[in-house]
Amino acid sequence: MKSVKAWRVGNMGDLQILPATRHRPPLKRPMWIIGLVSLVILFLVCAYIYPPHSRGACYMFSSRGCALTDWLPPVPVRELTDEEIASRVVIRDILNTPPVRSKNSKIAFLFLTPGPLPFEMLWDKFFHGHEGRFSVYVHASRDKPVHFSRYFINREIRSDQVVWGRISMVDAERRLLANALKDPDNQHFVLLSDSCVPLHDFDYVYNYLMYSNMSFIDCFEDPGPHGNGRYSEHMLPEVEIKDFRKGAQWFTMKRQHALIVMADSLYYSKFRDYCKHGVDGKNCIADEHYLPTFFHMIDPGGIANRSVTHVDWSERKWHPKSYKSHDISYELLKNITSVDTSEHVTSDDQDSAVAALPMEWYPTAMLLIRQEILPRYPQ
């Protein structure tokens, strides 16, 4: 109390310099003290209830001064559900387990196709001479393809129907990952469509993926109708709109991330049930949102936020440009392999909604999508 009194006395002098108003006599002393003491008590009580959450303590009379925000109540942190806690501990442990580098590390090439693979013989040339460093898995959802390449024969997994834009597309991706995870040598997993062709040779692709410490999962925020406009509040509390992301489905994934996808049932079921056609009158497409949102939430620093597949959206249509045989030239391939930014087209403003993401790591695109996969699946 002594210091408070001294402080008060010291300030009394200043106070008396102020011109006193004629009609209101200055406050009487006892009132003044009571007012000051209650203020100090109120301040101390507030400080006790809302302790400062800046790193350095904020003392009442410190010369540093106190920012008002130091004393504001913290933003309430949501209490996690049992399922979220369970899911997060499993994910954290998988992420913290260093990858086992087997001597025969392989890349699993996962072909998601409705039927035959028109570029099978091109892939055959790509794989030739690199036996033991790759494995092939084929999910043919409509017609059983006849294979011509020995690398593709007997590599089909049990498949199921795939409908464009439905969760069955994600299910097929998970089925491919699960089958490929059975082989402990598979360290990196690449999802491909029947219209993908390689742009680089096997060694380049192998080194690019194997020695990168991340997964190439396309991930961006689209504030427009075909992005956040597809979000449904039924996904709460686990999936908030601030975490909702979009991205092309063509991923490459390191083994840890593939395991996490297998371990996830919580977030998967949210997208299965509420990211689909007809929820709240929206048309949510699970394969464009589930993995980007999931990885953005659980390991944002572990993904490149871009895909390694090249696709040409410059025509600004519903589907990317389809390359015809007369389009294919050495110059085109050279142009595509020297692309050093990855474009994200958002749906909020058709003229200015292209964001380019620099590719810091080996500045080249790896694969080429000849045409969009969409029209070939039942809708």
Ligand X SMILES: *[C@@H]1O[C@H](CO)[C@@H](O)[C@H](O)[C@H]1NC(C)=O
Residue numbers of the site for ligand X (CB under 6 A)? 213-214, 296, 300-302, 304-305, 329, 331-332, 335
Answer whether the bond into residue 116 is a cis peptide, omega within 30°: no
CA distances (Å), origin 238, targets 87, 109, 253, 372: 11, 32, 23, 32
- At 362 the three-state DSSP class reads coil
Least distance to ligand X from the beta carbon of 221, Å? 8
Between 35 and 358, CB nearer to ligand X:
358
Between 21 and 213, CB nearer to ligand X:
213
Q: Which of 166, 200, 174, 171 is nearest to 310 (CA)?
A: 200
Tokens (6 digits) for 312: 């040409």
Between 228 and 305, CB nearer to ligand X:
305
β-strand 303-305 against 215-218: which pairing, if any? parallel
Q: Which residues of 355-375 are buried (b: 16+ CB within 10 A; e: fewer)?
A: eeeebeeeebbbbbbbbbbee
Between 73 and 98, CB nearer to ligand X:
98
Least distance to ligand X from the beta carbon of 212, Å? 8
Between 129 and 300, CB nearer to ligand X:
300
Between 109 and 189, CB nearer to ligand X:
189
Between 16 and 213, CB nearer to ligand X:
213
Q: Which of 123, 124, 117 is nearest to 138 (CA)?
A: 117
Query: CB neighbours (10 Å) of residue 96?
Result: 8
Distance CA 287, CA 171 (A): 9
Between 76 and 301, CB nearer to ligand X:
301
Least distance to ligand X from the beta carbon of 301, Å? 5
Least distance to ligand X from the beta carbon of 254, Å? 10
Q: Within 13 Å and on the Cβ side, how many CA atoms surround 295?
A: 31
Least distance to ligand X from the beta carbon of 297, Å? 10
| Beta-bridge partners for 277 | 283
Least distance to ligand X from the beta carbon of 295, Å? 9
Least distance to ligand X from the beta carbon of 302, Å? 5
Q: Which of 180, 163, 249, 256 is nearest to 215 (CA)?
A: 256
Looking at the chain, the number of H-run helices and the number of E-run strands are 10, 11
Least distance to ligand X from the beta carbon of 56, Å? 27
